[in-house]
Chain A
Amino acid sequence: MNSIKNITFIVTKDCQLACKYCYLVGKNSKERMPWEVAKQAIDYILGHEEDFREESVVWDFIGGEPFLEIELIDKICDYLKTEMFRRNHHWFNSYRFSFSTNGINYDSPKVQEFITKNHEHLSIGITIDGTKRKHDLNRIYKGGAERGSYDDVVRNIPLWLKQFPHGGTKVTISSADIPYIKESVLHLFSLGIREVHINVVFENVWKEDDDKLFGDQLIQLADEIIDGGYYNDYSCSFFSENIGKPLDRVLYNQNWCGAGMMLSVDAAGNFYPCTRFAAYSLRSKKPIIIGNVHDGIDKNKLRPFLTLDRTTQSRQECIDCEVASGCAWCQGENYDAADTATIYQRATAICKMHKARVRANNYYWNKLYRKLELEDMREEFEKSKPKSNDLIC
Chain B
Amino acid sequence: MLQYLIILLDETSTSFCHYENTRKERNLIPLDVLKKGIRYGMMENLMIQFVFPKYDLPQEYKDEVETIDHSKIKPIADEADVWVADEPAKVDGNVPVVLRVSKEVLFEKENEVVEMLKSVPRLNIVLTDVETFTENDFTRYKSLLERVAAEVERMYVDGKSPQINLLTDRMMLSAMNNCGAGDMSVTLAPNGKFYVCPAFYYENEEDSIGDLEHGLDIRNKQLYKLEYAPICRHCDAYQCKRCVWLNRKTTLEVNTPSHEQCVVAHLERNASKELLRNIRKHGTFLPEKEDIKEIDYLDPFDKRETWQ
Contact = CB atoms under 8 A, between A and B. Distances in A.
Interface stretch (A40-48, A111-119, A261-269, A297-305): A297-305
A342 B228 CA distance: 13
Interface stretch (B87-95, B250-258, B286-294): B250-258
A307 B256 contact: yes
A88 B98 CA distance: 54
Contacts of B223: 340, 342, 344
Contact of B253 (A253, A339, A344): A344
A307 B228 contact: no
Contact of A303 (B220, B254, B301, B308): B301
B264 to A, nearest CB: 13
B121 interface: no
Given A303-B301, A312-B228, A288 B220 contact: no
Given A303-B258, A304-B251, A344-B255, A309 B219 contact: no
Interface in B221-258: 223, 228, 230-231, 250-258
A300 B255 contact: no
B259 interface: yes
B304 interface: yes
Interface residues of A, number: 21
A288 B252 contact: yes
B230 A307 contact: yes
Contacts of A304: 251-253, 255-256
A312 B301 CA distance: 16
Interface in A339-356: 339-345
A338 interface: yes
Interface string A320-348: 00000000000000000011111111000
Contacts, number: 53
Interface string A225-250: 00000000000000000000000001
B230 to A, nearest CB: 4
A300 B130 CA distance: 13
Given A300-B250, A307-B231, A307-B301, A344 B259 contact: no
A303 B259 contact: yes
Contact of B308 (A250, A301, A307, A339): A250
Contact of B220 (A301, A307, A340): A340
Interface string A25-54: 000000000000000000000000000000
A342 B219 CA distance: 11
A300 B258 contact: yes
A35 to B, nearest CB: 31
A306 B304 contact: yes
Nearest to B230: A307
Interface in A253-300: 253, 288, 299-300
A345 B220 contact: yes
B220 A339 contact: yes
A304 B256 CA distance: 6
A96 to B, nearest CB: 26
A372 interface: no
Contacts of A76: none
A309 B252 CA distance: 17
A267 B258 CA distance: 28
A308 interface: yes
B155 to A, nearest CB: 37
Contacts of B258: 300, 303
A342 B220 contact: yes
A312 B258 CA distance: 19
Contacts of A301: 250-252
Contacts of A250: 308
B230 A309 contact: yes
A342 B254 CA distance: 8
Contacts of A300: 250-251, 258-260
A307 to B, nearest CB: 4
Contacts of A303: 231, 251, 256-259, 301
- Name the residue among B250, B253, B258, B308 with the largest chain A CB count within 10 angstroms: B253
A295 to B, nearest CB: 15
B250 A308 contact: no
24 contacts: A250-B308, A253-B308, A288-B252, A299-B259, A300-B251, A300-B258, A301-B251, A303-B257, A303-B258, A304-B251, A304-B252, A304-B256, A306-B301, A307-B230, A308-B230, A309-B230, A338-B220, A339-B219, A340-B219, A342-B253, A344-B220, A344-B223, A344-B228, A344-B253
Given A288-B252, A304-B252, A344-B253, 12 more contacts: A250-B308, A253-B308, A300-B250, A303-B231, A304-B256, A307-B230, A309-B230, A339-B219, A339-B220, A342-B220, A343-B253, A344-B228
5 smallest beta-carbon distances between A and B, as pairs: A307-B230, A339-B219, A304-B253, A304-B256, A300-B258
